[in-house]
Amino acid sequence: MIHLDRGKINMTRRKKYSALLLCGALSAGLLAGCGSNNDSSAGDNGAGDEQVTLRMIESLTSPKRTELLQASIDKFETANPNIKVELISPPFDQADNKIRTMLGAKEDLDVVEVRDLTVAEFVNNGFIEPLNDYADKWSDYSTVSAISKSLGSVGDKLYFVPNGLYERQLFYRADWFKEKGLNPPATWDELYETAKKLTDPSKNRYGFSFRGGAGSNGTTDAMVLAYNGDNVNLEDSMFTKDGKTIFSTPEAKASMELYLKLYKDASPPDSVNWGFQEQVQAFTSGVTGMLLQDPDVIQSLQEKMAEGTWATAPLQAGPTGKALLAAGGAGWGMAANSEHKEEAWKLISFLSSPAENTEFSKAYGLIPIHTSAAEDEFFKTGPYKTLLDMSNAPDKFVNFKPPFEYPGTGQWGQVEMESGQALLLGQASLDDTLKKWDEYWTDQKSKLGK
């Protein structure tokens, strides 16, 4: 009995020690996890035969896009056996926050997907590296379109090489237009008149796929810009050439009066709170006759709608005959604290090469960044043709630089949406609304110290 008891005691003691050990190990592991991992892999930034692992993160994630990217990366790895690429694909909704957090915590990242909406913030916080020195030595850089370069730059420095451009155009129901003998509208005024003719609430049919919810500033900004026309400072597009905001002019008021009419007379009443999905869904399900969208919807229109029922037309112009057009998008940038900058640039320039970029753009529905891609038959026909037509008429479709360098550019969508909804619902007057927008951008300018 005594023996047994002693055995028992021994057991408990041993258990106790192993438990203690386990606890210690756990705590140590926890502490290590909290610490930074900056010091790892410090000495291996020389190229050569040494194995290098690049960490790359994407922002505009979707399953299809990740697959396309991975395919490109596989090709890159085959061509560069000493470089391995680890692709991180956070879900789209959280991607930018994840990227911010990782960059802020100085985690190992080499290639980062930077968006037009985030570039100013990343530059401001010193998260990403200017690419000019690399790009100057890059043979394919000469064919990168001016608009792509402008998109990826802040000031005179290039911070990312875009991986494709988004540009707005009009999608319309060709069958409805034919039925009523209508032509695609060339101006905003015509768009309103056409939309009104297509509207028949008793049949639950409306002319325009209005978007009053998230992203509504896409429409209001486009209209105000088109109406201000030549007076807009193209490099600082929320302002006119004499330094006032574009919302302070009589032209702005005229454009917004039309905007209100467009909603009241020719759009579904529910659309005051519609975002991207509802807007596109209403068009594909036959509730609305016209939709203003980027080329990335082309694939879902092709899937959901019968061929011949829809077609595309260029973006609408203002009373002076000019439409102001901007390209949006994202691209590949380099983390400022990357340990493998040469290899990172190798990957960026590979992904951005004419061959890779054109293939990616075709597969995902984007405008390629190289001017040479315009020779491709794919972009000369079908729904992409209008985009090419627009870039071939730069006098009528004038490119402007969106105000991405302002800190408030991310919040502008939300500010515009809420005050715009109040305007549409009759809770605020047009003058007060425009004054609010004018004040917002005046304030932005003073904060930027321009």
Q: Which is nearer to another protein, 317 or 335 (CB)?
A: 335
Report the nearest approach of another protein to the CB of residue 278 (Å). Answer: 7
Query: For residues 288 and 280, what is the distance between their CA atoms, to the nearest angstrom?
Result: 9
Report the nearest approach of another protein to the CB of residue 100 (Å). Answer: 6
Query: For residues 234 and 399, what is the distance between their CA atoms, to the nearest angstrom?
Result: 7
- Ranges of H-type helices in 53-118: 63-79, 92-104
Q: Which is nearer to another protein, 243 or 269 (CB)?
A: 269
Do the strands 323-325 and 397-399 form a parallel or antiparallel pair, or are they unpaired? parallel
Q: Which is nearer to another protein, 117 or 254 (CB)?
A: 117
Provide the CA 227 distance to its chain's centre, in angstroms. Answer: 25
SS3 (DSSP) at 327: coil
H-helix or E-strand containing 355? helix 354-364
Report the nearest approach of another protein to the CB of residue 16 (Å). Answer: 6
Q: Which residues pair with 328 in a beta bridge?
A: 166
Report the nearest approach of another protein to the CB of residue 447 (Å). Answer: 10
Q: Which is nearer to another protein, 75 or 100 (CB)?
A: 100
Q: Which is nearer to another protein, 20 or 355 (CB)?
A: 20
Q: Which is nearer to another protein, 4 or 31 (CB)?
A: 31
Report the nearest approach of another protein to the CB of residue 344 (Å). Answer: 23
Which tokens is 84 given? 């391995």
Residue type, 423: L
Q: Do residues 296 and 371 lie in contact, with contact meaning Cβ atoms separated by under 8 Å?
A: no
Other Cβ atoms closer than 10 A to 268 = 23
Q: Which is nearer to another protein, 354 or 413 (CB)?
A: 413
Task: Compute and round to an integer the Cα radius of gyration of the chain.
Answer: 27
Q: Do residues 354 and 370 lie in contact, with contact meaning Cβ atoms separated by under 8 Å?
A: yes
Report the nearest approach of another protein to the CB of residue 305 (Å). Answer: 15
Other Cβ atoms closer than 10 A to 114 = 28
Residue type, 238: M
Which tokens is 418 given? 């809420």
Smallest Cα–Cα separation from 162: which of 329, 344, 405? 329
Report the nearest approach of another protein to the CB of residue 417 (Å). Answer: 7
Alpha-carbon torsion, ordered 368, 390, 317, 204, to 10 deg: -70
Q: Which is nearer to another protein, 28 or 355 (CB)?
A: 28
Report the nearest approach of another protein to the CB of residue 93 (Å). Answer: 9
In the complex, the residues that contact another protein under the rule CB under 8 A are: 16, 19-20, 23-24, 26-27, 30-31, 34, 100, 104, 120-121, 124-126, 204, 206, 212-214, 268-275, 278, 281-282, 285, 287, 407, 410-411, 413-414, 417-419, 421-422, 424-425, 427
Report the nearest approach of another protein to the CB of residue 438 (Å). Answer: 19
Q: Which residues pair with 296 in a beta bridge?
A: none
